[in-house]
């Protein structure tokens, strides 16, 4: 068991190094690692805990290490930083891991490939001091709320400052707390191949407990601790792993059988596949994306889920009308964004996104939305969505479009689960992790006039 735990710790250091050095995504690296390595359930759980835990609590861990070591962690080599953070995370957050094991494994990793005795000596000194003082090192009570909450909940100060100004301290704290909790795995049942009762029963027979989603009737939330990403139901295309926020954007679009639909920023194909199920696999879905890798993943997802009406195409939403001559009945623009609504699932994003990206991406989003709107037929629908908590990417983009595109009027379809979202007075909807329990999204729907 000790050897297996050591293996999980070493893998965590490897993954975290790639996340920081190569700007890789932890979720993709973890999925690939768990798919090709024969890790037992405990090893897989420890690897997942260490990887996401270090990413979520990085600022707090660095403060602890700098307090006992009096040197900037950011100045150390990237791999050594991960070795120290993994050790510090175990000492601070994992009571079941003996202190000696956390220290000794960190020292061994520091001596290993890419390391040397100097690294090992530093790791030994810092982590031993932290082990001795961990109970007497609470996060300090600072008078400045931004500094206090940024350190207590390991978020960049610029983002904490914005949330304090927008929500007040109580709700900002609730959102920060939600970001620090693991996101639930949500399964959308593919109605082309299964139904909710049969899927829930099969999962229960395999020891996987689920609860019905309060947001969508065809979604199941998997109870914490269960891993289903590699369950046979996923491989068989009877379910897809998809957050409810993204699925709500499809629900707002409300595509109908026989229609022509444009997914203008299709990505990996989750939304296009979901549309296919909603449409009963009857009609046409043009799925645009500029990334060849994304289109390849889209094709694989559609094959797995039995979505035969999806046409992946290389293209930019700013020139969307070129790809659907005659126009589309419905167009979805799930635009590239900061992803700040997904910090539970992708905690590394908080350390990558500078505040200046909000204005840069908002300009791109306005262009994409304006271009995609040209592909909407008279009488057709347009939905704009982003997985961001920030108004520059949501409300402001929606308002700019509505002010310029007089032919489009906002509407909410009959039957849309508006009670599961926060309705905004200026138009559109929002979801937040601390309110609805799903990723943070903004979405809005318009209908184009007949003239």
Q: In DSSP terms, which residues pair with 186 in a beta bridge?
A: 221
**Does an H or E element contain 311, and which?**
strand 310-314
The torsion of the CA quartet 396, 398, 404, 408, rounded to 10 degrees, works out to -160
- Global pTM value: 0.93
- 255 and 264 in contact (C-beta within 8 Å)? no
Question: Can you give the pLDDT at residue 42?
Answer: 86
Question: Can you give the pLDDT at residue 130?
Answer: 93
Question: Can you give the pLDDT at residue 418?
Answer: 60
* Local structure of 259: helix, strand or coil: coil
Mean pLDDT by 10 residues, the chain (451 residues): 67 96 94 83 90 97 92 94 96 87 92 86 94 77 90 97 98 98 93 95 93 92 78 94 94 96 92 95 95 90 93 93 94 97 97 97 98 96 98 98 94 77 91 95 96 73
SS (H, E, C) 201-269: HHHHHCCCCEEECCCCCCEEEECCCCCCCCCHHHHCCCEEECCHHHHHHHHHHCCCCCCEEEECCCCCC
Catalytic site includes residue 387: yes
- 440 and 431 in contact (C-beta within 8 Å)? yes
* Topology at the third CATH level for domain 244-448: Rossmann fold (3.40.50)
Total residues found in the chain within this entry = 451
User: Nearest 5°: phi and psi at 389?
Assistant: -85, -10
Residues of the chain with CATH 3.30.70.1170: 185-241
Q: In DSSP terms, which residues pair with 373 in a beta bridge?
A: none
Residues of the chain with CATH 3.40.50.150: 244-448
Q: Of 337, 387, 421, 438, which is the active-site residue? A: 387
Instruction: Give per-residue pLDDT as tens, 118-143.
Output: 999 999 999 999 998 877 777 777 77
* Topology at the third CATH level for domain 185-241: Alpha-Beta Plaits (3.30.70)
User: Nearest 5°: phi and psi at 219?
Assistant: -115, 140
Instruction: Give per-residue pLDDT as tens, 158-197.
Output: 999 999 999 999 999 999 999 999 998 999 999 999 999 9
Listing DSSP states for 92-146 in one string gives: HH-TTS-HHHHHHHHHHHHHSTT--HHHHHHHHHHHHHHHHHGGG-PPP--SSHH
Tokens of 399: 């308002």
Question: Can you give the pLDDT at residue 419?
Answer: 67
User: Distance between CA 26 and CA 15 in Å, rounded?
Assistant: 7
Residues of the chain with CATH 1.10.940.10: 2-136
- 164 and 191 in contact (C-beta within 8 Å)? no
Q: Does domain 2-136 have CATH number 1.10.940.10?
A: yes
Rg of the chain taking only CA atoms, in angstroms: 23
Instruction: Tell how strand 429-431 and strand 422-423 pair up.
Output: antiparallel
- 215 and 436 in contact (C-beta within 8 Å)? yes
């Amino acid at each position: 068991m000790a050897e297996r735990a050591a293996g999980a710790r070493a893998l965590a250091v490897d993954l975290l190094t790639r996340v920081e050095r190569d700007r890789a995504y932890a979720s993709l690296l973890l999925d690939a690692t768990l798919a090709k390595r024969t890790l037992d359930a405990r090893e897989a759980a420890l690897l997942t805990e260490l990887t996401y835990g270090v990413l979520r609590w990085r600022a707090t861990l660095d403060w602890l290490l700098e307090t006992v070591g009096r040197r900037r962690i950011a100045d150390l080599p990237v791999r050594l930083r991960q070795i120290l953070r993994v050790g510090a995370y175990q000492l601070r957050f994992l009571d079941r891991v003996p202190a000696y094991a956390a220290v000794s494994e960190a020292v061994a990793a520091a001596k290993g490939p890419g390391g040397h005795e100097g690294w090992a000596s530093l790791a030994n000194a810092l982590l031993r001091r932290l082990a001795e003082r961990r109970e007497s090192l609470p996060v300090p009570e600072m008078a400045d709320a931004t500094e206090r909450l940024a350190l207590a909940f390991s978020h960049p100060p610029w983002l904490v400052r914005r949330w304090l100004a927008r929500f007040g301290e109580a709700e900002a704290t609730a959102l920060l707390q939600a970001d620090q909790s693991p996101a639930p795995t949500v399964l959308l049942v593919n109605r082309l191949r299964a139904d909710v009762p049969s899927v829930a029963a099969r999962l229960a027979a395999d020891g996987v407990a689920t609860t019905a989603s309060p947001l969508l009737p065809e979604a199941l939330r998997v109870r914490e601790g269960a891993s289903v990403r590699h369950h046979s139901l996923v491989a068989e295309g009877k379910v897809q792993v998809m957050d409810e926020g993204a699925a709500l954007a499809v629900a707002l679009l409300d595509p109908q059988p026989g229609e022509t639909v444009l997914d203008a920023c299709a990505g990996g194909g989750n939304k296009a596949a979901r549309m296919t199920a909603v449409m009963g696999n009857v009609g046409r879905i043009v799925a645009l994306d500029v990334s060849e890798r994304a289109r390849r993943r889209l094709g694989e997802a559609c094959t797995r889920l039995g979505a035969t009406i999806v046409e992946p195409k290389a293209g930019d939403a700013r020139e969307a009308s070129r790809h659907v001559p005659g126009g589309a009945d419905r167009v979805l623009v799930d635009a590239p964004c900061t992803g700040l609504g997904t910090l539970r699932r992708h905690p590394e994003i908080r350390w990558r996104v500078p505040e200046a990206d909000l204005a840069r991406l908002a300009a791109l989003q306005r262009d994409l939305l304006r271009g995609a709107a040209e592909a909407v037929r008279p009488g057709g629908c347009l939905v704009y969505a982003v997985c961001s908590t920030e108004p520059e990417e949501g409300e402001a983009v929606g308002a700019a479009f509505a002010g310029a595109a007089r032919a489009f009027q906002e509407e909410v379809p009959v039957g849309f689960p508006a009670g599961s979202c926060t309705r905004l007075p200026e138009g559109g909807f929002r979801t937040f992790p601390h309110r609805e329990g799903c990723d943070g999204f903004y979405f809005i729907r318009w209908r184009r006039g007949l003239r």
